[in-house]
Amino acid sequence: MPAPGFAAIDFGTSNSAIALPGDGPDGAPGVALVELEPGFRTMPTAVFYRADEPGRYFGRAAIAAYVDGLDGRLMRSMKSVLGSALIEQSTEVGGGQSVKFTDVIAGYLLHLKRCAEASAGAELRRVVLGRPVFFVDDDPARDARAQAALEAAARSIGFAEVLFQYEPIAAALDHERRVEREQLVLVADIGGGTSDFSLLRLGPARRGRLDRRDDILANHGVHIAGTDFDRHVELAAVLPLMGYRTLRPSARPGDAPRELPSSLYFDLATWHLINTCYAPARVAELRRMHGWYADPAHHRRLLAVLQQRLGHALAAAAEQAKIDVANLGAGGQALIDLGDVEPGLQAGLAEPAAAAAIEADLERIVDAARQTARLAGVAPAAVDTLYFTGGSTGLQPLVARIGAAFAGASAVRGDRFASVAQGLGVHARAVFGAAAA
């Protein structure tokens, strides 16, 4: 059988995967995910650049290098840069080195491609890439530029033919392989960067059609998801211990106290902006602001975070606290160890506080689900199935809220981290066929 010559890539905000043609359980043509790391078919979307020597680490190795304290720069959530002004800029990675964000993305995609080519035993020249419904909300021009930047990165590493498919539609194609009757399905693909919805007709009689445009009733989404939840949790539970939302002393008697500037805190809680907080000018500015802090401990802790470059560790701790609270359920409280900032320092995150921190985001996501049905002209009661995929659908309050908006629909959970990649592989097989490149 000739080598396939094509692949499908789910380049996610938090995790990524790549699919190749393969045989299904019954021997029929199917797709299979590549083992990107020993025992894992998905890999964190992370790159670590070493400052002391040339070289990069990817995925779990990148995170381990950061945790082990190697000198260098950890980069995550690179997908979030697409559509922003940062995509055309360079960023410092340590040791006097800098790299363009486009090259960071291309380098990560190249690593995925090489893993797939090693598995396939052949060069891969064609690819289907997943994309969110909107890279950028309410800005079609920036959204188009985001897709063009991702396509350019894919072409720069050797893909001659690049096609795109919406990620929630890909998840639907994966789900359809197990559907036994025709139904209206609302796919909720909620990952690290975006919450995307598609309403589709699925069923055995439609399976295998190359042109599915008539089956797609509506697409909608918002640029809110797991990394936004993490940011709000960090701002609510961690950064107040470093002065966030506290009042500075009045300059003159009788003056109303003012809140400390918040921009540094916002950047410190945003993965792809954390490294900007370590710039010498920002550290020097914070040093000069010690008199602005009513509690000297707040200033001391924040300065320690910048000097020791602990921003990514704080973000990871907030993410873990969110997960822990979700697992503990009502009445549970997660403890966040901040001993690297100050010996013995801890923050607590209770379930009500976590829910309050992300309430506005949850409501916007649920409204996007409702809007998808409205765009299709379909009443919520007519939706047969809610299909959940994406890492953030592990957050039960979010799933419950969406379910309540479509109370008559059955809830089905896909593979949170692999459904999109599997569906992209199904689509790649349909559009490219099984011929060699």
Transcribe 214-275 into DSSP letters.
GGEEEEEEES-SHHHHHHHHIIIIIGGGGTTTPBPPPSSTTPPP-BPP-HHHHHHTSGGGGG
Confidence of residue 329 (pLDDT cuts 50, 70, 90): low
How far is the C-alpha of 67 from the C-alpha of 57, rounded, in Å?
13
- Give the CA angle between residues 236, 241, 245 to the nearest 5°: 60
β-bridge pairing 6-10 and 126-131 = parallel
Confidence of residue 88 (pLDDT cuts 50, 70, 90): confident
Assess if residue 140 is contained within a domain: yes
pLDDT for res 330:
57
Question: Which 8-state DSSP code applies to residue 60?
Answer: H
The verdict on 247 and 114 lying in the same domain is no
Assess if residue 28 is contained within a domain: yes
Q: State yes or no: pLDDT of 184 exceeds 90.
A: yes
The verdict on 67 and 123 lying in the same domain is yes
Q: How much of the chain is in helix, strand and coil states, percent to nearest 5?
A: 45, 25, 30
Domain end, chosen from 312, 333, 356, is at 356
The verdict on 234 and 174 lying in the same domain is no
One-letter amino acid at 241 equals L
Those residues whose C-beta lies under 8 Å from the C-beta of residue 288, and which sit 6 or more positions away, are none
For the chain, how many residues are written?
Answer: 437
Q: What is the mean pLDDT of the chain?
A: 90
> Residue 20 sits in a domain of what CATH number?
3.30.420.40
What is the average pLDDT across 80-103? Answer: 85
Confidence of residue 437 (pLDDT cuts 50, 70, 90): very low
Residue among 140, 125, 128 nearest 169 (CA): 128
Assess if residue 400 is contained within a domain: no
The verdict on 21 and 168 lying in the same domain is yes
DSSP labels, 184-218:
EEEEEEE-SS-EEEEEEEE-TTTTT-S--GGGEEE
Q: State yes or no: pLDDT of 96 exceeds 60.
A: yes
Q: State yes or no: pLDDT of 347 exceeds 60.
A: yes
The verdict on 170 and 235 lying in the same domain is no
The verdict on 301 and 423 lying in the same domain is no
Domain end, chosen from 356, 380, 395, is at 356
The verdict on 146 and 274 lying in the same domain is no
pLDDT for res 197:
95
How far is the C-alpha of 183 from the C-alpha of 406, rounded, in Å?
14
pLDDT for res 331:
63
Q: Which residue has the higher pLDDT, 87 or 42?
A: 42
Assess if residue 172 is contained within a domain: yes
How far is the C-alpha of 188 from the C-alpha of 197, rounded, in Å?
5
Pull the structure tokens for residue 71: 């000198």
The verdict on 162 and 242 lying in the same domain is no
- Structural domain of 301: 227-356
Q: State yes or no: pLDDT of 115 exceeds 90.
A: yes
The verdict on 57 and 161 lying in the same domain is yes
Q: State yes or no: pLDDT of 335 exceeds 50.
A: yes
Q: State yes or no: pLDDT of 3 exceeds 50.
A: no
How far is the C-alpha of 90 from the C-alpha of 102, rounded, in Å?
9
pLDDT for res 268:
96
Q: State yes or no: pLDDT of 98 exceeds 60.
A: yes
Confidence of residue 435 (pLDDT cuts 50, 70, 90): very low
Query: What ranges in 289-380 are assigned the alpha helix state H?
Result: 296-307, 311-328, 351-376
The verdict on 29 and 168 lying in the same domain is yes
Assess if residue 397 is contained within a domain: no
Assess if residue 382 is contained within a domain: no
In degrees and rounded to multiples of 5, residue 165 shows phi and psi of -140, 140
Are the C-beta atoms of 90 and 100 separated by less than 8 Å?
yes
What is the average pLDDT across 54-81? Answer: 88
- Tally the domains of the chain: 2
DSSP labels, 126-158:
EEEEEE-S-SSTT-HHHHHHHHHHHHHHHHHTT
What is the average pLDDT across 239-260? Answer: 89
Least reliable range by pLDDT among 100-114, 337-351, 421-435: 421-435
pLDDT for res 129:
97
How far is the C-alpha of 347 from the C-alpha of 249, rounded, in Å?
25
Assess if residue 385 is contained within a domain: no
pTM for the full predicted model: 0.81
Pull the structure tokens for residue 417: 């981290």
Are the C-beta atoms of 418 and 31 separated by less than 8 Å?
no
Assess if residue 292 is contained within a domain: yes
Domain end, chosen from 312, 338, 356, is at 356
pLDDT for res 29:
62
The verdict on 345 and 425 lying in the same domain is no
The verdict on 254 and 344 lying in the same domain is yes
How far is the C-alpha of 232 from the C-alpha of 427, rounded, in Å?
36
